[in-house]
Amino acid sequence: MQESFWGKDHFSRTFPELNEDVAVDVVVVGAGITGITAAYLIKQTGLTVALVEKGNWGSGETYCTTAHLSYVSDMRLTDLVATYGRDHAQAAWHAGDAAILQIDEIIRRESIECDFQWVPGYLHAASNFDAREMSALRVEASLADELGFSASFQELVPLMNRPGVRFADQAQFHPLKYLAKLVQQIPGEGSYVFEQTEVHAVSDAKVVKAGKHEIRCGYVVVATHVPISGKTGFLKSSVLQTKLAGYNSYVLGARLPSDTAPAALFWDTANPYNYMRVASAEQSDYVIFGGADHKTGQNDDTNQPFQQLEQSLREIWPDALIEDRWSGQVIETHDGLPYIGEIDQGQFVATGFAGNGMTFGTLGAMMARDAVTQIANPWKELFNPHRTTMSKAWNYIKEGVDYPYYMTRDRLMSAQERSPESLHPGEGGILKYNGQKVAAFRDESGALSMLSPVCPHMGCLVHWNAAETTWDCPCHGSRFKCTGEVHAGPAQSPLKELDTSAATRPHS
């Protein structure tokens, strides 16, 4: 395997092998983004966890990613709606956005320097587009906007000079810098990280066997890209694998002659499609360009995809200096949605992420935490590994009413299309100021206060409580006075007062 761009940074991989029998609450198998995030989140709940990796952490498909963070799925939104209905399609995209917000929250909580950046994403026409393709992109943009996502059709997408759809609130980061901090938080207090430790069996009694040693546990999370088959649920795991298809995807890393690359993500409408991103804010002259996918093992000339990519890249930047090339594998499912959930009692799998590995991998970790702790998750049925058909009568909002999904929903919903200046005395609301969300309140004397709507506890967006004239957080119950001071915890600090000459944008 050739070295990816992320491998240029050297990370200490010094976790021990399993050399004795241990016991924990949960075993997580696989130390890529799904496994490390799952182990981190599960330990945060107070449970003990053992993260087990057959090689070194971050050395699998996470090492080969291009690290797009996007809720825009490989399957077009119009196709999702046609296949599953509006509620299911909206839920799939909301789930992806929830994962990006989870990454953002962890980065802020742990103060991780990993080149995280909020950027727009562009789905644009391929080079040979026609009027039908332009019409389809218009429909895609309109539907996304109807479902509450910040999307707009553009006649000419930046850099590509082709029609496309602009999606706000996508992101990018350095995955190994991010995971390096997370994996360090796992060992200790009865929890472990084991490298160079390959799991070869999971018994009915929830005993994970690796080499000559065993890990006893109450729950197993399998985060190995393609699920392993333990003794428990062997038949079910084998059946699941028949629904998965592996595709090789190829990547070029190129240095540009000047700082000309916009901070954005790009995908085209070709099949297979090309995708592109700028590596980081600090290295904005470095572009990662990928595509040329084919089914694993079904291309005799594996140099040809790189040649194809180079030709496409030079159509955009003739003078790009190619420094790196690598390939990875993406796993597709039979119906376009990942499989995330329990495959058997006490055994959880997450796979089939297609082109959204960083996003759905994080979502899989969130759902694993919820399964272990028996928290109702609004996407449980949507991504159920045993799904056959989906009920069109599914009430998505009702399913998520008690889940901190409000953090996602409120960040995606547009603020009221009115200015703070229009507020009447005694009135408040989440409004727009210079295109940004603000928590605005006008007191009885007419004085206007402008606050950040981001709850300082865990980063959710507050709601205006007109009856009590308070700002209430729907995630964990914090309440703030109309002028931002803490009225009730768990928040310990007030809502941040904004400079009305330059309001701070949360993520809208």
pLDDT at 171: 93
Q: Are 71 and 334 spatial neighbours (Cβ–Cβ below 8 Å)?
A: no
pLDDT at 507: 35
**280 pLDDT more than 60:** no
Question: Per mean pLDDT, which range of 195-199, 338-342, 467-471 is the poorest?
Answer: 467-471
- State in Å, rounded, how far the first CA of the chain is from the last one: 39
Of residues 24 and 435, which shows the higher confidence score? 24
Among 478, 474, 480, CA closest to 401: 474
Peptide bond into 494 cis (omega under 30): no
> Residue 126, class by beta-carbon neighbours within 10 Å (0-12 exposed, 13-18 middle, 19+ buried)?
middle
| Calpha distance 271→260 (Å, rounded) | 27
CA-to-CA separations, 245 to 52, 176, 226, 364, in angstroms, rounded: 25, 26, 10, 19
3-state secondary structure of 286: strand
pLDDT at 386: 87
**10 pLDDT more than 60:** no
Question: Per mean pLDDT, which range of 75-89, 129-143, 216-230 is the poorest?
Answer: 216-230
pLDDT at 92: 92
Question: Per mean pLDDT, which range of 230-234, 367-371, 475-479, 492-496 is the poorest?
Answer: 230-234
* Mean pLDDT, residues 9-32: 87
Among 365, 383, 334, CA closest to 92: 383
| Calpha distance 239→287 (Å, rounded) | 39
Residue 425 pLDDT class (50, 70, 90 cuts): confident
pLDDT at 78: 94
Residue 279 pLDDT class (50, 70, 90 cuts): low
Of residues 495 and 2, which shows the higher confidence score? 495
For domain 416-488, which CATH number applies: 1.10.10.10, 3.90.105.10, 2.102.10.10, 3.40.50.300?
2.102.10.10
Task: Check if 17-63+177-242+336-406 and 416-488 are the same fold.
Answer: no
Question: Per mean pLDDT, which range of 76-80, 147-151, 418-422 is the poorest?
Answer: 418-422
**293 pLDDT more than 70:** yes
**146 pLDDT more than 60:** yes
CATH topology of domain 17-63+177-242+336-406: FAD/NAD(P)-binding domain (3.50.50)
* Mean pLDDT, residues 433-441: 79
Q: Are 272 and 291 spatial neighbours (Cβ–Cβ below 8 Å)?
A: yes
**128 pLDDT more than 60:** yes
**37 pLDDT more than 50:** yes
Question: Per mean pLDDT, which range of 178-192, 369-383, 401-415 is the poorest?
Answer: 401-415
The pLDDT mean for the chain works out to 83
Q: Ranked by mean pLDDT, which of 149-153, 181-185, 227-231, 465-469 comes out on top?
A: 181-185
* Mean pLDDT, residues 247-254: 86
Please give the class, per CATH, of domain 118-171+248-325. alpha beta
Amino acid identity, residue 150?
S
Cβ neighbors of 380 (< 8 A, separation 6 or more) are 341, 367, 370, 371
Question: Per mean pLDDT, which range of 205-219, 240-254, 259-273, 399-413 is the poorest?
Answer: 399-413
pLDDT at 64: 83
Of residues 190 and 460, which shows the higher confidence score? 190
Q: What is the pTM of this model?
A: 0.79
Domain boundaries, the chain: 17-63+177-242+336-406, 118-171+248-325, 416-488
Cβ neighbors of 468 (< 8 A, separation 6 or more) are none
The residue behind tokens 């990006």 is: 100
Peptide bond into 490 cis (omega under 30): yes
DSSP label of 46: T
**223 pLDDT more than 80:** yes
| Calpha distance 66→57 (Å, rounded) | 17
Q: What are phi and psi of 135, to 5 degrees?
A: -65, -40
Residue 235 pLDDT class (50, 70, 90 cuts): very low
Residue 505 pLDDT class (50, 70, 90 cuts): very low
Residue 424 pLDDT class (50, 70, 90 cuts): confident
**Per-residue pLDDT reduced to its tens digit, 403-419:** 655 554 555 454 445 56
pLDDT at 72: 94
Own/partner pairs, 458-462, CB within 8 angstroms, 24+ separation: 458/105, 458/404, 458/407, 459/101, 459/104, 459/105, 459/108, 459/407, 460/404, 460/406, 460/407, 460/410, 461/406, 461/407, 461/410, 461/411, 461/430, 461/437, 461/506, 462/430, 462/495
pLDDT at 232: 43
3-state secondary structure 389-421: CCCCCCCHHHHCCCCCCHHHHHHHCCCECCCHH
